A and B are shown apart, each in its own frame.
Chain A
Amino acid sequence: MAKRSNPDFLNGVPEMTILKLLESQPMYGYELVQSIRLRSDNRLNFGEGCIYPLLHRMEKEGLLSSRKETVSGRERIIYRTTRAGKKRLQVTVQAWQETVQGVQAVLLGVQYGT
């Protein structure tokens, strides 16, 4: 069986991260990976090549669209978030924030003051 490389609670995080970053600016794979590193302050570590299967799947599901473009003399596949992707992002961000708030409340013992 494949060895897990991440804890269960990170399920859905890569998708959400990618949708968010590509919502504001279309990017190709390398740019996207650098953007994740930069914006997450190097807290999210992963094999950079693993981003492509995820991008391809999200494109297949209609969450992303892609087009070929020449950047710095090389042809690139540029990804951007689609309307369906934006909708998905809205839902997952809301669910994520609720989860974070709930966990934070438990960890800080807000409700019972413990």
Chain B
Amino acid sequence: MEHNQWLLAIAKRMQAASFSPNSIERMTRELADHHQDILDASATNDSKDAIARLGTVDSILIAAEHQRTASMPWFHFLILPLLQLVFAWIALAAISLFVVNLFAMIGINANQASSPMLIRVPLGLLWSGVPIWAALFVSWRAYRRTLFRDNCFAWSAVAFCSIALAVATMQGPVDLPSSSMGHGFNTDFNIAWVCNPFRIVQILVPVAFLVVGYRKHNAPVVCFSN
């Protein structure tokens, strides 16, 4: 009973950490087998003792996350956050456009000063903050991932700098639907790449972090001690 709860907790935590169903199934199956082997080999049949030998839920999750990011840290801390940023950006922009258009359809235009403050302010925050909300969301996910790593400083720096760079380089989030709205959805995006010395510096700094981060990365170990 106790080991079932322990396995369930591991499965839930792995699910929350976006492990694939196959990985979760395999991990829990092997842990359950291992637990049974310990019981078979011991005279006491003490499940608590077997679980103590296998490790806490936290330690197994740390090891799992650690090994997941160990083989391709550049993917997990550079490429993945940027991909997530793009998806988060598109999803948030779509949601904000949908909400704004929905209000426009019922005659409330978020652009007009005459519209109620209660609607204008939240809509404005949602709309104008699309890149910031997306960046915060992806940064939070990257931060959670780096929590599980020993050598996390350099890679978290890489993740956050690349997110910041992408957000800083893109101009303007999404155009707020104009007052002519009300006959459908307006999906105007106003994203542009601007290159000037300041932005070049903005690019170079994270690249420097990337190089330092890569050089500092070592093959991680979680589970052995002497």
Say whether A and B bind each other.
Answer: yes
A16–B225 Cα distance when bound, in Å, is: 14
Interface size class of A (residues with CB under 8 A): 35 or more
Q: A46-B224, A49-B34, A53-B27 are in contact. List 16 more A-B contacts (CB 8 A).
A: A1-B150, A1-B152, A2-B150, A2-B222, A5-B224, A10-B225, A17-B224, A47-B56, A53-B64, A53-B66, A54-B63, A56-B26, A57-B67, A60-B71, A76-B33, A77-B30
Establish whether residues B54 and A48, one from each chain, have CB atoms under 8 Å apart when the complex forms.
yes
- Asked if B37 is at the interface (CB within 8 A of a chain A CB), the reply is yes
Establish whether residues A49 and B60, one from each chain, have CB atoms under 8 Å apart when the complex forms.
yes
Within 8 Å CB of B26, what residues of A? 56, 77
Taking a contact as CB atoms closer than 8 A, the residue among B38, B67, B147, B223 that contacts A5 in the complex is B223
- Asked if A15 is at the interface (CB within 8 A of a chain B CB), the reply is yes
Establish whether residues A13 and B224, one from each chain, have CB atoms under 8 Å apart when the complex forms.
yes
Per-position contact with A for B29-45: 1 when CB-CB < 8 Å, else 0? 01101101110000000
Establish whether residues B60 and A6, one from each chain, have CB atoms under 8 Å apart when the complex forms.
no
Per-position contact with A for B100-139: 1 when CB-CB < 8 Å, else 0? 0000000000000000000000000000000000000000
- Asked if B226 is at the interface (CB within 8 A of a chain A CB), the reply is yes
Establish whether residues A52 and B37, one from each chain, have CB atoms under 8 Å apart when the complex forms.
no
Establish whether residues B226 and A56, one from each chain, have CB atoms under 8 Å apart when the complex forms.
no
A50–B225 Cα distance when bound, in Å, is: 12
Establish whether residues A49 and B31, one from each chain, have CB atoms under 8 Å apart when the complex forms.
yes
Within 8 Å CB of B55, what residues of A? 46-50
Within 8 Å CB of A57, what residues of B? 67-68, 70-71
Within 8 Å CB of B152, what residues of A? 1-2
Interface size on B, residues (CB 8 A): 39
Of the candidates A7, A30, A48, the one having the most CB atoms from chain B within 10 angstroms of its own CB is: A48
Establish whether residues B221 and A12, one from each chain, have CB atoms under 8 Å apart when the complex forms.
yes
A11-B220, A14-B221, A45-B225 given as contacts; is B37 within 8 A of A50 (CB)? Answer: no
A29-B34, A53-B63, A56-B67 given as contacts; is B148 within 8 A of A2 (CB)? Answer: yes
Establish whether residues A6 and B27, one from each chain, have CB atoms under 8 Å apart when the complex forms.
no
Task: Determine how close the nearest CB of chain B comes to the CB of A43; give it in whole angstroms.
Answer: 6
Within 8 Å CB of B148, what residues of A? 2
- Asked if B190 is at the interface (CB within 8 A of a chain A CB), the reply is no
A4-B150, A30-B33 given as contacts; is B220 within 8 A of A44 (CB)? Answer: no
* Smallest Cβ-Cβ distance to B53: which chain A residue: A48
Per-position contact with B for A1-37: 1 when CB-CB < 8 Å, else 0? 1101111101111110100000000001110010000
A54–B56 Cα distance when bound, in Å, is: 16
